[in-house]
């Protein structure tokens, strides 16, 4: 009589296999290569998985979405794509204020500020980092804002608002211009938010 062999339990897709403890590191290395060659928009989870020699589900298991993976790959200090939907769903007259306050209060956190300054310095004029960061912000920040504006110049409005905030971050945290560096968050929100609001809805 043939011996009955108990079949091995099926492995759940996306779970690390035994002996693949380095999978996360290989995925991260592959992501850096993929983002570097294809840009944020052109990079795909499938392409990153192929480079790393793993299943796409394993990439999602370790990192979640493409935005999550990109954030880790470049050490992004904040994730506007996570906070923005709630801000845009709130009262329209408070969108500018909410965006500026969210960004400034987040950057006041020491670890966020440290990583953010590093990212800004590396992004300005760097032929690799600049287009990656630009693509990420365009897809995850500017496009969602532009979609709710419902205006023919929505992309320009969203970009002008982003340029105002980017300039504020560089002046306050990178250049550390004294008046800006010493100002309170509340003071800056009260002064900058109306301009951002006007860019968006004026």
- pLDDT tens for the chain, residues 1 to 202: 444 443 443 444 444 454 456 899 899 889 888 887 787 788 899 999 999 999 999 999 999 998 888 888 777 777 877 889 999 999 999 999 999 999 999 999 988 888 788 778 877 766 767 777 788 788 888 899 999 998 999 999 999 999 999 999 999 998 999 999 999 999 999 999 999 999 999 8
Provide the CATH number for the domain around residue 92: 1.10.357.10
Residue 35 in domain: yes
**pLDDT in the model for residue 12:** 43
pLDDT for position 21: 62
Instruction: Let me know whether 99 and 197 are in one domain.
Output: yes
CA gap 129, 100 in Å, rounded: 24
Q: Would you say residue 69 lies in a domain?
A: yes
Query: Into how many domains does the chain fold?
Result: 2
Instruction: With 0.85 as the threshold, say if the pTM is over it.
Output: no
Flag whether 54 is in a domain. yes
- 116 and 190 housed in the same domain: yes
Q: Contact at 8 Å (CB) between 28 and 73? A: yes
- Judge if 117 and 70 occupy the same domain: no
| Whether 168 and 124 share a structural domain | yes
How confident is the model at residue 157, as a pLDDT? 95
Domain assignment present for 12: no
In a domain, 175, yes or no: yes
Q: Tell me what pLDDT residue 20 has.
A: 55
Same domain? 63 vs 96? no
Regarding whether 89 and 62 lie in a shared domain, the answer is: no
91 and 157 part of one domain: yes
Domain that holds residue 188: 80-201
pLDDT in the model for residue 87: 93
């Amino acid at each position: 009589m043939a011996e009955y062999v108990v079949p091995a339990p099926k492995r759940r897709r996306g779970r690390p296999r035994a002996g693949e403890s380095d999978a996360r590191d290989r995925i991260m290395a592959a992501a850096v290569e993929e983002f570097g060659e294809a840009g944020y928009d052109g990079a795909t989870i499938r392409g990153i998985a192929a480079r790393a020699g793993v299943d796409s589900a394993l990439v999602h298991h370790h990192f979640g979405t493409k935005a999550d993976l990109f954030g880790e790959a470049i050490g992004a200090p904040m994730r506007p794509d996570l906070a923005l939907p709630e801000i845009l769903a709130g009262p329209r007259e408070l969108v500018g204020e909410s965006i500026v306050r969210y960004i400034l209060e987040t950057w006041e956190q020491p670890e966020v500020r440290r990583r953010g300054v590093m990212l800004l310095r590396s992004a300005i004029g760097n032929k690799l980092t600049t287009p990656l960061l630009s693509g990420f912000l365009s897809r995850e920040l500017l496009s969602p804002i532009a979609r709710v504006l419902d205006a023919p110049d929505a992309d320009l409005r969203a970009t002008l608002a982003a340029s105002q905030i980017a300039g504020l971050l560089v002046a306050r945290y990178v250049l550390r211009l004294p008046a800006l560096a010493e100002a309170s968050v509340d003071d800056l929100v009260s002064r900058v938010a109306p301009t951002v609001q006007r860019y968006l809805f004026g």
